[in-house]
Amino acid sequence: MERVERIVLIGFSGTGKSTVGRLLAEQLGWDLVDTDAEVEASLGMTIPEAFRRDGEGPFRVLERMILLSALDRGRVVVASGGGAAVSAEIWGEDGLERPGTLVVALDALPETTLTRLTAQRSVDGGTTERPLLAGRDPLVRIAELKSERQSAYDRAHVTLTVDRLSPKRVAEEIAALLPPSADRSTPELTLDAPSGRSDIVVRSGSLPRIGPLIRSRWPSARRAWLVSDENVAVFHQAPVVAGLTTAGFDVRRRVVAAGEGSKSLLEAGRLYDWLLSGGVERGDILLALGGGVVGDLGGFVAATVLRGIPLVQLPTSLLAMVDSSVGGKTGINHPAGKNLIGVFYQPPLVVIDPACLRTLPARELRSGWAEIVKHAVIQPSTPGGERSDLASFLTRNASRLRRLEEPVTSLLIRRNVALKAAVVETDEREANARALLNFGHTLGHAIEAAGYAYRHGEAIALGMRAAGQIGASVGSCGAAEVDRIDALLDLFALPRRAAVDSALVRSLLGSDKKRIGGRLRWVLPIAGGGVVVRDDVPAAAVDAALMAVSESVAAPVGA
């Protein structure tokens, strides 16, 4: 959606549409149309009175007229009634599907809805009536009505689960959905770590416009050293080079082989030779354009050549966008294991263009979904994690996300980047909180390194499933948490079994770089949500979990 001229809030009663609409309109400086308030003003009576006098039919006709009239305006937020979206007449190109219209569904559990409606009646002394909730058990009636209307609510561009969010936070989340071309200042995500600050831009279509962004940050830089791999270069190198050249940079290009094999001392040495023979200076910039391999390799070289030159991460894979490009971890592999050689080095700038995802094979996308599921599982244990619910967001928007629809995809990436940044800010070097980000990685890295038949995300997904089994075995969680993790992974068709050499995986576990005092650190799910780090996991529990995820000899699914 290139430009948003109107935002329409739909959803069941009690989800906060009127309050959120008011706050959102104030934040954007737009007009507000609250259809319930407009109906009451037009009729000169309350909605319950209108229902009693005329029935539901005439009310719905007037409601549709008011809503469709509001859509003729620009720069307007519309808070609709709970049943408005059910009418087929408000959809189509003359209604909610009109170009420039962003439809956001606010969703809450029936229990949350009942609590809010009951509280509202308490505040106004019992004068608030909900005609459609009259009669028998209100909780049952809420669940029935919500179920009847759900297919209409699911037509929204994005669904926000609001049970744990304040109205102000919901309004901020919706404002973040607006594309940069909308009449507002685009918020920048930042990561302030002891070693440096990263500014993070999430903006669809940003790669072709990268030149001015880089030039404004480094006005006196002369050369830009662009590292990419042979797959990514085909799709994205030319527009980046054109943008940098137009901005006055002398662009030097280097393309490495795609795949984990490039994360090596040999390839790092080749990059050093390229940079040093080309006269690299400390005022130059190195840009890593690609997925996690290019980001890790390019970051390591930028951190170490001339004792460090500025680094810009330009992630093109979903995994790199939500995880490896943010946080300052760089590194290369060693025959003894993954990422055993590296440094922490914060990139001053990370530019994420979600439009790049449309060039990815399905298998690469699945790798990214695995890291996002990881964030959803650990979120309750992360700084500020209690204020959001990434797992519910994934569940409610899974089909939209699998289709890479906007603006929901960009919002998901921002949420994940914000989570990662919050963790790294509190623990840059993985002494405490950052270790939570290794959920699924202890066994996952070993599975990945056992022949590299599995993508990183596929291996981490298997590692998360195994961590759930270990957690249940040692008592940190129950079957409900294991089932929840499996269900989230299944939403994105991530593997359940691995065809690996179990003996080799056990051997590789002995080289895990996260060991402390010779003991492996396991990040395990806990009852009620979240994770905990433990180093007392018995070998038998690990063996049983490994067996649970390696019972089949099926090969990984192809792209």
Binding residues for Mg(2+), as ranges, are: 18
Q: Residue 530: name the closest of 372, 422, 394, 381 by CA.
A: 381
Identified catalytic residue from 215, 329, 375, 465: 329
Identified catalytic residue from 146, 374, 434, 484: 434
Identified catalytic residue from 406, 430, 458, 481: 430
Torsion of CA 436, 442, 443, 445, to 10 degrees: 110
* Separation between Cα atoms, residue 484 and residue 482, nearest integer Å: 5
Determine whether 6 is an active site residue.
Answer: no
Identified catalytic residue from 157, 425, 438, 481: 438
Q: Are 436 and 244 in contact (CB under 8 A)?
A: no
Q: Would you call 351 helix, strand, or coil by DSSP?
A: strand
Determine whether 445 is an active site residue.
Answer: yes
Strand-pairing partners, residue 352, are: 202
Q: Residue 225: name the closest of 279, 269, 304 by CA.
A: 279
Report the binding-site residues for Zn(2+). 371, 441, 456
Determine whether 434 is an active site residue.
Answer: yes
Q: What size, in residues, is the chain?
A: 559
**Residue 299, exposed/middle/buried by CB under 10 A (0-12, 13-18, 19+)?**
buried
Inter-axis angle of helices 56-70 and 47-54, nearest 10: 130
Report the binding-site residues. 14-19, 36, 60, 82, 130, 149, 292-296, 316-317, 329, 338, 356-359, 371, 441, 456
Report the binding-site residues for ATP. 14-19, 130
How far, CA to CA in Å, does 100 sit from each of 9, 66, 74, 85, 127? Answer: 14, 18, 9, 18, 38
Determine whether 430 is an active site residue.
Answer: yes
Identified catalytic residue from 374, 445, 455, 465: 445
Question: 């219209």: which residue's tokens?
Answer: 101
Determine whether 420 is an active site residue.
Answer: yes
Report the binding-site residues for NAD(+). 292-296, 316-317, 329, 338, 356-359
Identified catalytic residue from 371, 406, 425, 481: 371
Type and span of the H or E element at 531: strand 531-534
* Separation between Cα atoms, residue 485 and residue 467, nearest integer Å: 10
Per-residue b/e over 44-57, b at no fewer than 16 CB within 10 Å? eeebeebbeeeeee
Identified catalytic residue from 6, 203, 374, 441: 441
Type and span of the H or E element at 11: strand 6-11
Determine whether 329 is an active site residue.
Answer: yes
Determine whether 146 is an active site residue.
Answer: no
Identified catalytic residue from 203, 236, 396, 420: 420
Report the binding-site residues for substrate. 36, 60, 82, 149
Identified catalytic residue from 254, 456, 465, 484: 456
Which residues, including other chains, have CB under 8 Å from residue 558's CB and lie 6 or more apart?
363
Respond yes or no on whether the N-terminal peptide bond of residue 407 is cis (omega within 30° of 0): yes
Q: Would you call 362 helix, strand, or coil by DSSP?
A: helix
Q: What is the largest CA-CA distance in the chain?
A: 86
Residues involved in catalysis: 307, 329, 371, 420, 430, 434, 438, 441, 445, 456
